[in-house]
Amino acid sequence: MIGSHIIPKFYLKQFATPSTRGKKNPGRIWVYEREQPADERATSVQGVENGYFGFLRPDGIFDESFESVLAKIENDCNDVLVSAKSDLFHWPHGSREKLALYAALLYSRATQRRTFSANNWSNIVGEILELLEDEKFIGELASGLASKLGRPVSERQMHDGIQQWLRAAQNAESPRQSFLSDLLENAHFIAEVLLRKEPWRVLRPAEELEFVTSDNPLITFVPLTHGKLHPGYGFRRVEAVAAFPLSPNACLLMGDAWPIARNLDTAGVRELNEAFISLSDAYVYSKTYFKDVEEATKLYGGSFRYGVNALVPIGVKMPTARQYLRLHFGLDAPE
């Protein structure tokens, strides 16, 4: 299997100290975890998981070609990712679209979202198992499918069809397949929302401070009173501001709900870093070691979880088991 970088090496490189052994060697980055002491590691080994983007084809072959699809999108944005850090960058045509998709892609592929997707898949499978005992619903499905196909479909045939789906759904690879199936669609959707969050501003940290990033680097928050930030809102929420760290000294802010100066003071940097830390999954990264970042990661790293208490789009509901089955068999799913 391919060793897949959940967070691209090139992105981590923006936060790394270059190697003293030559340009071809990976840089070093500080890594913080809740249960471990801070550690300086090579970017080449951080955030790697074998087969993360691989999927099982119908012929039983484990296919990792999706990795190259994602790599092309990342590479197309690398120049913009670097240039956007400069105050002299004038955002040529198409550059915002590239960076929005890049940030959205890192969000959509994050381990937090994969965990949520797997939990949701497990819940749907469990609910469908219970529906096998609902004779009325099985009859409704059979009748609907018969009308669609123009031929009789018995309740037994419908029951057997659901059981066949369940056997495939309970395969160990199914949660991964479900996660990957809509990864790009989800990224494009979020990118479109980000482009509507105006203005785009690049923030700078107070002297001697840096922005951190994490394994879930695109975040949202709502500014509260007294400079506090409350993280983890749906991207479509008007008052939710999106933030994406570009480097230790540059952070892209999208949205106008946080009317703050481009040059953040010490309190502003720490507040924003706390938001990044609280929405991380397992890892927080920085170029320079900061004791307060290590302490903050241990206290509340990952305290906001995708789909649990954060980042649930307003007005969006996951399909019920009944809706899922109707859609699976090509039938309209009622509201």
- 187/20: higher pLDDT: 187
Q: What is the model's pLDDT at position 5?
A: 86
pLDDT digit string, tens, across residues 247-265: 999 999 999 999 899 999 9
Residues 6+ apart with CB under 8 A from 37: 294
Residues 6+ apart with CB under 8 A from 139: 155, 158
What's the pLDDT band for 56 if we cut at 50, 70, 90?
Answer: confident
Describe the crossing of helices 321-328 and 155-169 by its angle, rounded to 10 degrees: 100
For the segment 228-239, the average pLDDT, to the nearest whole number, is 90
Lookup: tokens for 196: 């509507």
pLDDT digit string, tens, across residues 107-120: 999 998 888 888 87
Lookup: tokens for 224: 């509260």
* DSSP reduced 3-state for 211: coil
Query: Alpha-carbon distance 180 to 173, whole Å?
Result: 11
Are residues 242 and 219 in contact, defined by beta-carbon separation less than 8 angstroms? yes
Mean pLDDT of the chain: 89
Residues 6+ apart with CB under 8 A from 300: 274, 277, 278
- 242/259: higher pLDDT: 242
- 55/311: higher pLDDT: 55
